[in-house]
Structure 1
Amino acid sequence: MELIQEVPDLSAYLAADSVIDHEHPLVRETSEQLSRMAPDAYAYARTAYEYVRDAIAHSFDSGDPRVTWRASDVIEQRNGICYAKSHALAALLRAKSIPTALCYQRLGDDDGSNHAVHGLVAVKLPGRGTWSRLDARGNKPGVDAQFSLVDERLAWSVRPELGETDYPVLFAAPHPAVLNALRAAPVRRHLERTLPAGL
């Protein structure tokens, strides 16, 4: 899939803000710990990806009622849905000067109903002319997302015949519809009912 860079200046994909708060001490500390196991940017990207995918629970899978959206909170609570986990991964990667974007898919049930937006990231590693999408949602039976820079290994492939789509835009900050849903949800069950159906 061809990704569309929304902002030509890569610095936008390295920025810290109130959501991707990679200047927060906990994000920095976690980044430093992960980097000790990684000799270069590629190894670090894989290590950070696997940490977020495997060590931070997807709250829909675990049943955790808390809703997180700020990267530092996701890392502290080790909990979040796909959007929140993407924010955490983006923060950890940007903390090591790896340009990271947020991207989204529109997915649905097997009968084409109940569409919802799914969040993932795209990274631009040194020496690569293209962006690579990574999905740190967390694996479970039927989901096997992996770190791969050549052939995408996302949690799900879209099925256009069911109204699903890959949004090609690389966002430097969370889409407002996503962030509004997270911020407005007092608990996970509320969030399940208010996920955006599209962008």
Structure 2
Amino acid sequence: MHQNFDWLKSFYPHGFSLVFARQLEPGEILARLGCPPEAHRFMTVEDADDHAAEQSDERELFQAGTAGEWSFAVQPWGARILNDDAAVARVSQGTEIVVLVNTSTMPWFAHAIDGVEITSFDPSVPHIRYGTEPDRLLEPMQVSGILPAGSGSSPFFAAMEMAGREFGLVLDEEIFEDAELLTGTA
């Protein structure tokens, strides 16, 4: 499976992070990211962006939905999943997750199962990998142009394509254009 994710830049020009969780409800992803369930509500991406701009506090906004057998949560501008040391373990408890971060400070890819980080790396320096099985995705990294470093046009979007191909992740642009996604703040 091959999918081009470049269209995400038009929705999140200042960066974003995506967390995909296999067979986990969108509300549960938000709760595990620290968004109180009683405050979840449905909003379009445009309305959520306006809402975030109106807020005077430092809360972080997340929107979640479902794509096939995976649910996802997207955070504009930030990467709480990486800034909270326990977040990857907490969100992946009892399931499998794929994390893709594209912010102005860093791109990042991570794969975790049941609280354990399997592999993670910065797609722009893919020879430095972490996790219990840091070499698990070497072949998919080569196929996607992540390895050797600099062989693809955009290391981050090559990592997204690898994740799509390897884990069956699919995101439709229409979800972000029209649909109301479950929204929460942490």
TM-score under structure 2 length normalisation: 0.34
Report the structure, 1 or 2, having the larger helix content.
1
TM-score by length of 1: 0.32
